[in-house]
Structures are given as C-alpha cells and as structure tokens.
Amino acid sequence: MALNKNKKEANFNQEKITNKKEEFIRKYLPDYIRPADKPSLIYNLVKMVKSRLVEHVYGQENLPVGEKLFISRHNEGDDIWRLMVALDEKVHLVASETIHWQDQLLFGVKKNLMKELEMLPLRAKFPELSLEEKKEILKRAPFWEKRNQEKILRYSAVDLLKNKKYLKQIVAVLLAGQNIQLFVDGLWTRLKNDPRHPFPGYGLIAKLYQKINEQALPIIPVAFKKKDVYLGKPFYVDKQSNREELSEIARFQLERVISKNKTT
C-alpha cells in the first residue's frame, strides 16, 4: 500500500512539473524557434560556410544528454560561429539586443537573419571601463556598429526589467530541450588588454530553469584556441550563490578549461 501511495505521489509531482514546464514554454518560447532536430536552411548553410573555423573538438564525452547551457569568453568576432560548427546538436546563440536586434540595417534584414539563425536577444553591456578604454572601443569598432556602441557605453546599468523577459525566453528554449550559448563576459570590447570579469547572468538562467524544472541545469564551460574547441565538464549552480560567487565560479571554470588545454 505504502509503495503504491509513494508511486502515485511521484507520478502526481512529475505531472505537476510537466504541466508547469509546458505552460512556461507556451508563454515564453519565441515563435521562430524550430524543433531541436529541424534547424532552418539558413542555420545549416551558415554552419557549412563557417566550417573552416573549427578543426578539432575536444571533450565531447563531457556532454550530458539533453539541454545544456554553454558559457564562454568572447575574444573575437568568429567566436559566435565556432560552437555551432563544433556541435552536432543545435545551439542557440544569445546576442546583444542593442547591437544586433535593434539594428535597422537594410530595413530590418539583419533582425530577420537573427531569427532565421534562431538566436535570442539579451540587453548586454560592457564591463566597467575607463574613459580611455571607452574611446579605444569606439576607435576599434567598425563604422556600422559605432552608433550602437555609443549607446551601450552610456548605459549606467543593464535594463533588468527588459532582461527578465529575455531571460524567460532563454529558459523556455532550454525547457524545450534545446541548447543555449552565452558569452558570460558581456560584449566584445576589441581591447588588447581586456578587463572583463564574467557577469553572473548565467546563474539567473540556471536558477530560473531549476525553479521550473526542479532539477539542476548542466553548464558547460567552453574555450576556443585558434581552430580548436574545448568542452569542459558540466558544473551546476547552487541556488544560494550570490552574484559575486557566480562570477567567480564562471571565471574558475573557464580558466580551468583553458589552462588544462594550453599545451594541447
């Protein structure tokens, strides 16, 4: 009798979690996101064109089955394509809303391209910078990005209210069984001595995922070195971790992947 009762309770709890997940996905999953096994023609075409960027992928055995959050540094422009090329599974890149999604290049063609690539927006910012560093960023930025870069450099803080909506979209994609790639150090500065320290936003994603799904989200640290991609072992976020701890954890995990493969 007790066994049957426990089994019924377990089934009831699982049904509650499933219903909660389905409701969250229904409410927040962007309508342009396709099934995991059906990437768009543009996604496959870009993956094929950019295939020259990756020669070796190390650490495939570290990847658990199911949805994962990949975190990495953003050191050069081509970083946005490397993980897409390296993985057989589809991965959704999170890209700056201000630089990419608000860009009216060719009457919104760029925004539509982002949707075809199934990317997701997030309001991002640069790290704390000196006036000289800000001037250097604008000097190094291509002409088509200068106006948006200036706008971002004026941010005193990230728009958290707007980001809550975007974070929910990211979590909905994860709950739907798909992968996310996030650059945890914010926007690419193009500075020689980049001062970035990982932002803790990845932890907010992991915590919201765990709240809905009642299980921890696997987070995979990723490092890029020339044409090699290194996938670290998964780690998990403690619900009690604060912003400083989350930033330090990300720094440690990323440095471990990099240092472990420096001589490879």
* Domain range summary for the chain, segments of one domain joined by +: 56-260
Predicted confidence (pLDDT) at residue 60 exceeds the cutoff of 70: yes
For residue 108, count CB atoms less than 10 angstroms from its CB and return exposed for 0-12, middle for 13-18, buried for 19 or more.
exposed
Question: CA of 56: how far to CAs of 48, 81, 96, 238, 262, in Å?
Answer: 15, 14, 28, 32, 14
* Alpha-helical segments (H) within 52-155: 79-86, 109-116, 131-140, 146-153
Predicted confidence (pLDDT) at residue 5 exceeds the cutoff of 70: no
Of the candidates 122, 149, 147, the residue with the CA atom closest to the CA atom of residue 134: 149
Res 160: pLDDT? 47
pLDDT digits (tens, 9 = 90+) for 182-193: 988 765 555 555
Q: Find the angle CA(119)-CA(87)-CA(72) to the nearest 5 degrees.
A: 65
Could you count the other beta carbons within 10 Å of the beta carbon of residue 12?
A: 10
Of the candidates 222, 224, 241, 242, the residue with the CA atom closest to the CA atom of residue 232: 222
Residue in the block written with tokens 């044409």 = 227
Taking the complete model, does pTM exceed 0.75, yes or no? yes
Distance CA 119, CA 89 (A): 15
Question: CA of 68: how far to CAs of 60, 112, 207, 227, in Å?
Answer: 13, 25, 13, 22
Predicted confidence (pLDDT) at residue 145 exceeds the cutoff of 70: no
Helix, strand, or coil here: 56? strand
Res 76: pLDDT? 76
Q: What is the mean pLDDT of the chain?
A: 81
Res 158: pLDDT? 47
Res 124: pLDDT? 64
pLDDT digits (tens, 9 = 90+) for 150-181: 666 665 444 445 678 889 999 999 999 999 99
pLDDT digits (tens, 9 = 90+) for 70-121: 999 887 778 889 999 999 999 999 887 766 666 555 556 777 888 899 999 8
Of 150 and 125, which is predicted with more confidence? 150
pLDDT digits (tens, 9 = 90+) for 201-250: 889 899 999 999 999 999 999 999 889 999 999 999 988 888 889 888 98
Res 157: pLDDT? 47
Across residues 59-76, what is the average pLDDT?
Answer: 91
The per-residue DSSP string of 64-76 comes to PSS--EEEE---S
Predicted confidence (pLDDT) at residue 43 exceeds the cutoff of 70: yes
Res 177: pLDDT? 96
Res 151: pLDDT? 63
Distance CA 63, CA 39 (A): 20
pLDDT band at residue 143 using 50, 70 and 90 as cut-offs: low
Res 196: pLDDT? 58
Indicate the angle between helix axes 201-213 and 243-260, nearest 10 degrees. 100
Distance CA 243, CA 142 (A): 33
Res 71: pLDDT? 94
Distance CA 64, CA 198 (A): 24
Please check whether residue 101 is in contact with residue 199, taking contact to mean a CB–CB distance below 8 angstroms: no
Which pair of tokens denotes residue 135? 């001037």
